[in-house]
Structure 1
Amino acid sequence: MGSTEREPEPRGERRFHQLSSLQLESVRRRTFASWPSASADPDALARDGFFYTGEKDHVRCVFCGRHIGAWAPDDHVRTDHARYSPECSFVAGHLTGNIPRAPRTHDDDAGRLYAFLDDYHASRLAHRPPAHEGEISVRRRAPPSDEQPAFPEFARRDTRRRTFSAWPGGAGARADSLAEAGFIYTGVGDWVQCFQCGGGIHTWRHGDDPWADHAYFYPYCPFVREHMEQEGGASGVEEVLAPSPPPAPSVPSRPEELSPEEAELLLHHPIAQRLLCKGFDHRIVKEALKQKVEKSGLMCSSLNEALEIVFDYEDSINESFSEKSTKPQ
């Protein structure tokens, strides 16, 4: 690690609802708010697929999983990435779900697409609860509620605590405190999710209160509300919100259904372009990807995932046509 150090940055948005949001460069960049080293540029690291793990100056690539650390001032991010992980799909230029940060002054279709996907993800994160599918070790069977937690097998504190066996030693919050506050370790950086509501938080700093942050970012969580009411009576939740960190920059709400123009933009993603080159009908590709984005807030992470989505969409159309053709007139 280089001898020079960086000053911490404002953290901004710390919530996440699914680990796959790391395919957005803007999300990866926010993980570097506590990046300690001036030897490697966090902008270059995030641009090359890395996020900060919370341990020393160690980073990890979203696309190949390679960990790199001990950065020196003369290191070059892309050169080192290629040296240590030449098989990385991102480094090799293969198709990935990467969403680069697009300048707001973009005037090309790809730039408009990436800016839209960035804004769409941010709006969903700010204005809707976590999705109904988890990513830790099981798939959620139903929307979270008082009776049905997002990850019911982690309802006990001791089972949650065991998920923190690989918790980074340099992370700002203690594993015991996080488990007590209802969180499970995802195994990625310092990203944790609540067993009850499924909400996630990352980029922890020393002095953060897991209970306060949990209540601040996910005040509807039944587990949080029950705890706060036990601790402070009826006003417990309101009291814990008072010392919480300042809110992330406000994100305007927008309709979750894509407009025709936004759906058309999806066809400019490299994965969509490959599907069109393979001969798939552009209307089917557009509608399949539109449904994917509206459901998860994200584009496909690979060509194989896109193919599955398109085939599923084609099957649903064929089934619907068969039902109509066999229905008595």
Structure 2
Amino acid sequence: LNTERDRLSTYFDWPPDVPVSPEELARQGFFYLGHRDRVECAFCGGVLHQWEAGDDPFIEHRRHYPHCPFANGEATANIPLGATSPPTGSPGTAQAVVSSPIGTEWPKQPDFADEQSRLSTFHNWPRYSPMSPLRLVRAGFLYTYVADHVRCYWCDGGLKDWQQDDDPWEEHARWYGSECGYVIMNKGMDYIREVRTRRPPVVQQVGLLLKQRLKKNKISYSKPQFRWGVEAGIVQSVLDMGFDENRVQAVIQNHWQRYNRPFTTATELLNALLPQEESLSFQLTEQPLDPETMERELRRLREERQCKVCLSADACMVFIPCGHLCCCEHCANMLRMRGRRCPLCRALFQRVQRAFLA
């Protein structure tokens, strides 16, 4: 979504009551995520929502994401609306002279462009999953080696918790269609619009769910559960690892009550979450679970803690800045010497940090 025209095209179902125009948001680097007023920067990945009258997208962008190259007027691949090549010297533009009509110009993981390479990642696909690896592969997905979590090789969008009647193409289009070149090339924008009209993506926001649950239970709690500009990416990275949403919500609420502030790093949140796993194993014995459900839950817990490279030692190292806890110390040091890429999301990492159990 490097061109302003492509970003603007994602706002076809933008809510009319939002007091910020799609034209201004697209001009400031944002594309629409298809849910309420939630938008994402095409250049830094920053997400903003809950727009109010008088908000200036340029100011909000720099306030919440001060290191974004686009917001800081640094060189990017942006092409403004109506331009054949980007001008120089203006905020948020750069040196690119061509753009692709595809939502994401290049695949995030080009090594998995052919179906056979993606299929090779499914050798350890869980037997309990009702979804066929071949159907997932044809829809652009590769396996992440965590439970039934998969990611698209092009847009890097992740999906999990597959059900018997799920359609991989439809889920792909529903959640990531407007920003994924693979879906656009294979299915087209008409298909994406049809899917999203029939089944709009419902983003389960941790803070919103917790607020609704507390209201339902008539519990008074006025503090926000996380600040979108600071903590949203941290929370999402932890959810992507497979941590249970209820546990994340409980830890965030407890942190606010004790310290009156949000989590500021993924490591901090992980260190608060990891001790919960031990207590959860005891909670499982207190509930009347059938053997199959208990075995599935215990297998999920073991997979969460397992190193995703050697599949034997416990994961104890966090990759920064993506925040994934997925390797033991030995494998993390090996990856540091061999390409410095996170084995889960394939993003480059700057450093690794040990996560200690409290």
TM-score by length of 1: 0.38
TM-score by length of 2: 0.35
Does 1 or 2 have the higher relative contact order (CA < 8 Å, sep 6+)?
A: 1
